[in-house]
Amino acid sequence: MADQIARANGQPPMLTVEGLKTYFFTDEGTVRAVDGASFEVQAGKTVGIVGESGCGKSVTALSILRIVERPGRIVAGQILLRRPNAKAPVDLALLEAEGAEIRAIRGGEIALVFQEPMTSFSPHYTIGNQIVETIQLHQDVGKEEARNRTIELLRMVGIPNPERRIDEYPFELSGGLRQRMMIAMALSCNPKILIADEPTTALDVTTQAQILDLLRDIQQRTQMSVIIITHDMGVIAEMTDDVIVMYLGRVVESGPVDEIFHQPKHPYTQALLRSIPSIFAEPRTKLPTIAGSIPHPHNRPTGCPFHPRCAEAMPGICDRHEPRLRPISEAHFASCFLYHEPEAAPPS
Amino acid sequence: MLTYTIRRFLLALLTIWAISVLSFAIIQLPPGDYVTAYIAQLASSGVDVTPEFAENLRQQYGLDSPVYVQYLKWMQQISRGNFGRSLEWRVPVLDIIGDRLWLTMAVSVSAVLFTWGLALPIGIYSAVRQYSIADYIFTFIGFIGLAVPSFLLALILMYVGFRYFGANIGGLFSPEYLQADWSLGKLWDLIKHLPLPALILGTAGTAQLIRIMRANLLDELRKPYVITARAKGMSELRLILKYPVRAAMNPFISTLGYLFPFIISGSIIVALVLGLPTIGPLLLRALVAQDMFLAGTIVLFLGILTVLGTFISDILLMWVDPRIRFERRE
Ligand SMILES: Nc1ncnc2c1ncn2[C@@H]1O[C@H](COP(=O)(O)OP(=O)(O)OP(=O)(O)O)[C@@H](O)[C@H]1O
Ligand code: SF4
Ligand SMILES: [Mg+2]
């Protein structure tokens, strides 16, 4: 798949995730949080990852940064990051999780902003302390210089009075300001990729819109790649160039945002889109649930993981064979037997 | 914050006053007084005591005036640095307490240092490597530490020391320094004797603090700010020490004030077993003998030290946790 897209637009992707499997080995059994996810992130593009709760979006993000916590572990797959001066991309999945190489990438080349603006800063230190620390981790600058840069960053993300705010503690700030601070911290080392895991879920509607505007504005100015994780088809429609639809740890459909919205191929994507009345009338409606319930993570269905809930499931095929992510058109992929024949013998 | 500190300080003074009243009252509570006990003691040893003799004694010690007068007299003397004479030992109370108070503090502080020095790193390790073999081993040892009474530990260690090393490991000084005046040599001798009582007195507390640290840190490690710090690219050790450990320190600091009286009251039996010249056994004996000035002074000192400890831990807590600082800004 990587080669196909590379051939399609002539530029290799910034990040290629190939067959990623991240499992949690708990006492109750193995949770296959990410179970063979494959997708790509192009340089300078915004990619949305969407799917119901528990489908492995956050674990995918944590896997890319290699900060999955025990008992979780990447058991298979590649995470290829293209780097400016290197010939071959580096496979993050092979790096030592606490080694210097991945730590230079974390926060330096790939940055993370996530959902909890209330608790994602430590209450024990000022915002300034925590951002300055990030800068000094990755860049060889003195305290004074790092502090000046921090003030500049705060100004850039639209924080009034940055010279004063820099010395405040997180609990002195509103949720919106805190999320701006979080974005400032993520941007502090000019990352190539910004991962935003539900960056606006915890905020009120007005603030949500402001934060999304800010993210879009920054993306356009810096030309970095953005991975935005959300439940919200409205956010996807507004923000992204490409969409990745996940279901039970797998990518079931991916493609340019227009194609996903206008010609969704996978029955799950169609159901996701059907479940919002009109994306343009009310952009930030939460996804109502789709018929049937998400299977328990410990015992996923055989064959196509979606078949118990799929209206178009074909008995004898969908419950016995596993569909593969296959191209529908140049950049549009779906994993469904409506679009390709089962190839291998069913697993015994 | 300054206002808060001042208010807190005034409150501490008030508490100390209340403690003085209380310590005085506690001494007065048991039926009879020192003279009753003294006479009973004399009588049991076959000495005949006349009522006039008893009355004389009472007057001499001011035991015949009303209680509040006795209290005021006591306080007045204290303000002049005179804590009264021990009824039993017939010398000024301070002469008896003197060194013992400092030695008690030396033993307590070394027990606390031992406790923290062991409990912090082990607690951190156990949390960070939850369910590892070492975690299980520490948990097991910790429960044994909690379950074995410290006087038993003292007896065992003394037996082992005597039986296998031929050393008498009780006391805080070698015989040659026992009566000597303070000197560098004596101080060094004391320091050499401190680890064992510190170990014995600190074991139970260490086991408990390991559990607390482990539980707190496990809670903190789940918080999103830890993920943020990881995602920044910090090294795991630096990250854990800077963020979650600092947050998990609060209970350590807030119990600092209580640690001192806890160690003293918990250490009486151990001090008796080990022959430690600390204040615990003295207090016990003074209470049994109804030696009121001595007992009252000791209770007062312990109370003041506790209040001071609590005051210091409060200030430390504000320093460590900015949220508390802000709550108390006004
Ligand atoms: N530390 C963990 N231990 C065990 N299982 C975990 C752990 N973290 C995540 N999981 C499991 O992995 C699966 C995927 O979780 P993940 O957080 O990636 O979902 P998500 O798509 O981000 O959901 P949401 O939209 O609710 O954030 C879930 O079934 C979850 O229970
Ligand atoms: S493979 Fe079958 S069950 Fe799965 S989505 Fe396609 S039609 Fe539905
Ligand atoms: Mg999530």
| CB spacing of A103 vs B233 below 8 angstroms | yes
B101: its two tokens:
């108070």
- Judge whether A330 is closer than 8 Å to chain B, CB to CB: no
Give tens-digit pLDDT for A331-347: 899 999 998 887 755 55
Task: Mark yes or no for CB contact B232/A116 under 8 Å.
Answer: no
A15 has pLDDT over 60? yes
Whether complex ipTM tops 0.90: no
> Out of A112, A119, A182, whose CB is closest to B223?
A119
Given this model, what pLDDT does residue B36 score?
74
**Pocket lining: A30 vs ligand 1, CB cutoff 6 Å:** no
B1 touches chain A (CB under 8 A): no
Q: How many CB atoms lie within 10 A of CB A206?
A: 9
Question: CA-to-CA distance for B287 and B266, rounded, in angstroms?
Answer: 16
Distance in angstroms (rounded) separating the CA atoms of residues B86 and B67: 18
Residue closest via CA to ligand 2's atom 8 equals: A313
pLDDT tops 80 at residue B222: yes
* pLDDT of A255 over the 90 cut: yes
Q: Which of A30-44, A61-75, A168-182, B66-80 has the lowest mean pLDDT?
A: B66-80
How close is the Cα of A278 to the center of ligand 2, in Å?
25
Report yes or no: A167 at the B interface, CB cutoff 8 Å. Answer: no
What integer pLDDT is reported at residue B7 of this predicted model? Answer: 85
Residue B299 predicted with pLDDT over 90: no
Q: What is the mean pLDDT of residues A146-152?
A: 95
Describe the crossing of helices B67-79 and B292-320 by its angle, rounded to 10 degrees: 60
Would you place residue B232 in the very low, low, confident or very high pLDDT band (cuts 50, 70, 90)?
A: very high
* Residue B146 pLDDT exceeds 70: yes
E strand intervals along A232-276 = 242-247, 250-256
Query: B275 or A79: which carries more pLDDT confidence?
Result: A79
Confidence of residue A279 (pLDDT cuts 50, 70, 90): very low
Flag whether pLDDT at A285 surpasses 50.
Answer: no
Give the DSSP per-residue string, B295-309: HHHHHHHHHHHHHHH
* Residues of chain B contacting residue A104, judged by C-beta atoms under 8 Å apart: 233
Chain B residues whose CB is inside 8 A of the A173 CB are none
Inter-chain CB proximity B236 and A98 less than 8 Å: yes
SS3 B102: helix
Chain B, window 187-226: residues with a beta carbon less than 8 angstroms from a chain A beta carbon: 223-225
Q: Helix, strand or coil for residue A101? A: helix
Mean pLDDT, chain A, integer: 87
Pairing of strands A110-113, A90-91: unpaired
Average pLDDT over residues A109-138: 91
Q: What is the pLDDT at residue B86?
A: 77
Residues of A in contact with B231 (CB under 8 A): 65, 67, 106-107, 111-112
Mean pLDDT of A164-190: 91
A67/A24 Cα distance (integer angstroms): 13
Q: Is the CB of A307 inside a 6 Å radius of any atom of ligand 2?
A: yes
Instruction: Give the residue extent of every domain in chain B.
Output: 98-280
Secondary structure (H, E, C), A123-176:
CCCCHHHHHHHHHHHHCCCCHHHHHHHHHHHHHHCCCCCHHHHCCCCHHHCCHH
Q: How far is the CA of A55 from the centre of ligand 1 (A)?
A: 7
Which residues are placed with Cβ below 5 angstroms of ligand 3, an ion? Answer: A 58
How confident is the model at residue A83, as a pLDDT?
85
Q: Look at B171 and A106; give whichever has higher pLDDT.
A: A106
- Of A107, A169, A171, nearest to B232 by CB-CB distance is A107
Find out whether B213 and B123 touch, Cβ atoms under 8 Å: yes
More confident residue, B98 or B12: B12
Quickly name the fold that domain B98-280 has.
MetI-like fold (1.10.3720)
With beta carbons under 8 A apart, name residues in chain A contacting B229.
122
Check A67 against B231: CB less than 8 A apart: yes
Per-residue pLDDT tens over the stretch B238-276: 999 999 998 888 877 877 777 767 767 767 888 888 888
Our answer on whether the CB atom of A55 is closer than 6 Å to any ligand 1 atom is yes
Which pTM value belongs to this model? 0.82
Give me the pLDDT at residue A205, please: 85
Least confident range from A34-48, A54-68, B240-254: namely B240-254
Strand partners, B155: none
Q: Around A61, how many Cα atoms within 13 Å sit in the side-chain half-sphere? A: 30
Query: With 60 as the cut, is the pLDDT of residue A219 above it?
Result: yes
Distance CA A250, CA A241 (A): 20
Contact B319/A at CB under 8 A: no
The type of residue at B25 is A
- The pLDDT value recorded for residue A280 is 46
